[in-house]
């Protein structure tokens, strides 16, 4: 983390977990545990049907509730999708876009990720843009090329002003939900590499101000070492974001 230059963001990605009642119970348990811990932003991205309950439980606390995806069209014949305007209408400011599970299982490409990103930014939302290499790409030594390509394609057409509302989550796909975490050195190297690409697109100042999270089996045991790295400005947390004690330990590691 370089807290002098950028905001640390610890975000939970609940994925397809938690009914509204379960989300309420979780937030009520967590609230006193993270109260007053203001050195990082705390966000949970929730399933659409769980957002309202989580927002109600989080009201008045330092916990913010976001969504896990958003469609790029303003409205229309897109069965099963939700627009940025709809999310804004219920007070959602944050949205994950381009998660590897969306790319792997739901056919999302850099093109749709870019369209969704632009739509969310145009609606005034803050985007947590996920990217990262698969195992074969890391083994082939092309991680930097892969994340550079994703960064350029996913941010195409995003203005410097809009970039201020972008958080990049570097998530090596081989580390997500597998218990395999990138080493702090691997996370630092690739986050720094992404920052250099952003600098080539938007200039040094914009790149230095950009929050880049690491995600992929971050937990209470490894967070401190990952977050100690200069270019790792937070975490996007799946499994450990479902357990209040584990998530709090990650928030503490960011303080
Ligand atoms: P994980 O998920 O922490 O369970 O590996 C991270 C993510 O998918 O964002």
The pLDDT tens digits of the residues spanning 171-222 come to 999 999 888 899 999 999 999 999 999 999 999 999 999 999 999 999 999 9
Cα(161)–Cα(217) distance, rounded to whole angstroms? Answer: 32
Q: Could you tell me the end-to-end alpha-carbon distance of the chain, in angstroms, rounded to an integer?
A: 10
Domains in the chain with CATH codes: 8-253 (3.20.20.70)
Q: Looking at 71, 99, 108, 188, which residue is catalytic?
A: 99
Q: Which of 103, 82, 95 is nearest to 121 (CA)?
A: 95
What is the CB-side half-sphere exposure of residue 15 using CA atoms within 13 A? 13
* Cβ(55) – ligand 1 distance below 6 Å: no
pTM for this predicted structure: 0.98
Separation of CA 96 and ligand 1 centre (Å)? 12
Q: Which of 16, 15, 14, 38 is nearest to 26 (CA)?
A: 14
- Mean of per-residue pLDDT scores for the chain: 97
The answer to whether residue 73 scores a pLDDT higher than 90 is yes
């Amino acid at each position: 983390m370089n807290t002098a230059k950028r905001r640390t963001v610890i975000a939970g990605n609940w994925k397809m977990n938690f009914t509204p009642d379960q989300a309420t119970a979780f937030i009520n348990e967590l609230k006193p545990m993270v109260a007053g811990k203001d050195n990082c932003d705390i966000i949970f991205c929730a399933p659409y049907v769980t957002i309202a309950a989580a927002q109600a439980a989080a009201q008045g606390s330092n916990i913010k509730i976001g969504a896990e995806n958003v469609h790029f069209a303003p409205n229309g014949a897109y069965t099963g999708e939700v627009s940025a305007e709809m999310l804004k209408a219920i007070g959602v400011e944050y949205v994950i876009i381009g998660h590897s599970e969306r790319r792997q299982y739901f056919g999302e490409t850099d093109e749709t990720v870019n369209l969704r990103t632009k739509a969310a930014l145009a609606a005034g939302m803050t985007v947590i843009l996920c990217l990262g290499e698969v195992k074969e790409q890391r083994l082939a030594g092309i991680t930097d090329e892969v994340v550079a390509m994703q960064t350029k394609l996913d941010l195409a057409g995003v203005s410097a002003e809009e970039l201020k509302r972008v958080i990049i989550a570097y998530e090596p796909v081989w580390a997500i939900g597998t218990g395999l975490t990138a080493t702090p050195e691997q996370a630092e190297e690739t986050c720094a590499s992404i920052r250099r690409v952003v600098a080539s697109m938007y200039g040094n100042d914009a790149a230095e101000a950009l929050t880049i999270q690491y995600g992929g089996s971050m937990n209470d045991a490894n967070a401190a070492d990952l977050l100690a790295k200069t270019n790792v400005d937070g975490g996007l947390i799946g499994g450990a974001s479902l357990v209040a004690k584990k998530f709090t330990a990650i928030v503490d590691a960011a303080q």
